[in-house]
Amino acid sequence: EAALPPAGADEGTRALLGQIAAARATLALTRYDVAAMLAQSRRALEYLRPGQLFLRANAHWTLGYAHLLLGDRAAARQALTEAITLSQAGRAVFTTILATIGLGNVQEVDNQLYEAAETYRRVVQLAGDHPQQIIGEAHLGLARALYEWNELEAAERHGRQGLRLAQQYEQIIDRYIVGEVFLARLKLAQGDVAGAAALLAQTSQSAHRHNFVHRLPEVAAAQVLVCLRQGQLAAAAELAQAYPLPLSQARVHLARGDPAAALALLEPWRRQVEARGWADERLKGMVLQAVALQAHGEKELAARLLVEALTLAEPGGFIRLFVDEGAPLAELLLKIRDEGGRKKEYAQKLLAAFGEHRAAPPSSVMLQPLVEPLSQRELEVLQLMAEGLSNNEISQRLFLALSTVKGHNQRIFEKLQVQRRTEAVARARELGLLA
């Protein structure tokens, strides 16, 4: 570049400068250097000839990802759509795949889960005999959609496939971090809290070691969920404060029994994401705000807000977004179902999903009068124990290994300071932990 004459010298020089700028934009993407991505992408599009379809497609792809990282999803969608059009015209399959994955990412954060899943499936078909690492992102996208639809086995298959492909980059690119965080969240949903904690500890160490700072907040957000399930409130609070994680910080306030503090965080956050058009964050915030309102004693307002959230969520088929909130959310859904109304059927569908995974009775972890609260899974085991189910029956009902059920029993006994099942059930009823 330094050896070239000034940019205006001739068309060939301008085209070569455009090619260099497109390469610089791609390198900037690997570092999440958004300013350089924007500047170099625009420079490439200024200098490249109209007929340089492959390079122009590549520049639109990096421009789209820059907009996505900045949170301008409409601009991202426009740039990525243009990248797909140009790459298809230029028969640049590799760039078509990259841009199509980007479009799937935009559809996903816009809560268009069915469209995103179809886009990711199209990527897998497009890849064909091309290097397989690039479709790892599509498998992870499919895994996230399947998880949200509560198809956990299929989600795990795609998640593991995505992680295997991401690991082929030999840890020079951060995509394996995304895969590990997803699988940790899946373990948490399956009740394997210890497994999730171990995986996230490994992931956090790796992210720090390779200086993948862009991924540290999502690792921390997942670790907050694990810490709260383990009753480690101090650790959860420290992680939530280490990064700008308002939803995680609100969860910590709820776990401490301070819904007013949680609401003070959630209301301005919701206004902010609504103004920016962030559909995914808006929906997450509304669901958590409904839980906080209920904990604050504002049950009617909580129910109205949840109905609004259900209206936004139903077109995408969201299930785990609600189920993962546990018993307090189930209690609100029962209220909506029993009162009838426009979201009665959807509420019933979600309650059926709670039944599949045996949500705990309507007593929140955050309100437990214990030094070390029972986790959501431990509450589920305790409820089944109270219903007289044997360890084998609990194992079958919750799809857990028998040894895992026995481990949950032991931790329940320790936390309740009892020696046997009958004492655990009696003690739990005294503390209001059982319906």
SS3 363: coil
SS3 391: helix
Q: Measured between alpha carbons, how far is 99 from 58 in angstroms, rounded to an integer?
A: 8
Looking at residue 363, what is its pLDDT?
A: 36
Q: Measured between alpha carbons, how far is 248 from 394 in angstroms, rounded to an integer?
A: 31
What DSSP element (H or E) covers 392? helix 391-398
Looking at residue 116, what is its pLDDT?
A: 98
Q: Note the pTM of the prediction, 2 decimals.
A: 0.81
Decide: 195 and 187 in contact? Cβ < 8 Å. yes
Give the CA count within 13 Å in the CB-facing half-sphere of 48: 23
Condensed to tens digits (0 to 9), the pLDDT of residues 204-248 reads 999 999 999 999 999 999 999 999 988 889 999 999 999 999 999
Q: Measured between alpha carbons, how far is 181 from 165 in angstroms, rounded to an integer?
A: 15
Decide: 69 and 31 in contact? Cβ < 8 Å. no
Q: Measured between alpha carbons, how far is 102 from 162 in angstroms, rounded to an integer?
A: 16
Looking at residue 357, what is its pLDDT?
A: 45
Per-residue pLDDT of the chain (435 residues; tens, 9 = 90+): 888 876 566 888 899 999 999 999 999 998 999 999 999 999 999 999 999 999 999 999 999 999 999 999 999 999 999 999 999 999 999 999 999 999 999 999 999 999 999 999 999 998 877 667 889 999 999 999 999 999 999 999 999 999 999 998 877 789 999 999 999 999 999 989 999 999 999 999 999 999 999 999 999 999 999 999 888 899 999 999 999 999 999 999 998 889 999 999 999 999 999 999 999 999 999 999 999 999 999 999 999 999 999 999 999 999 999 999 988 898 899 889 888 878 899 999 998 888 654 433 333 444 455 667 787 788 889 989 998 899 988 887 776 778 888 989 998 998 888 889 988 888 888 777 875
Looking at residue 356, what is its pLDDT?
A: 53
